[in-house]
Amino acid sequence: MAFEWLAPILTPEALRSVQADPSPLVTTLLVIIGLTLEGLLIWYISFATRPPVDKTKPKPAKKKGLLGFMSKK
């Protein structure tokens, strides 16, 4: 049958059920594929539209006093 490749991960009863009515399995696989493609599209849009990063290194701030946050008295 068409779903024999599922035999190692399904019980015999579950395999018979899938072979009798494969629509829940096909629907589940299509939903997983669709959500993956949607996630990739969202990632690509965010990657393509993000502003360019400033490559200049910021100047280090001067340390003030002890450990940079306590003032000397």
Cβ atoms of 64 and 71 within 8 Å: the answer is: yes
Sign of the Cα torsion 2, 6, 26, 16 reads: positive
Domain count for the chain: 1
- Residue 2 has a pLDDT of 81
State yes or no: pLDDT of 73 exceeds 60.
Answer: no
Question: Counting Cβ atoms within 10 Å, is residue 32 exposed (0-12), middle (13-18) or buried (19+)?
Answer: exposed
Reading the block at residue 60, the tokens are 């280090």
Owning domain of residue 36: 1-73
**35 φ, ψ to 5°?**
-65, -35
pLDDT tens, residue by residue, 6-53: 899 999 999 999 999 999 999 999 999 999 999 999 999 999 999 888
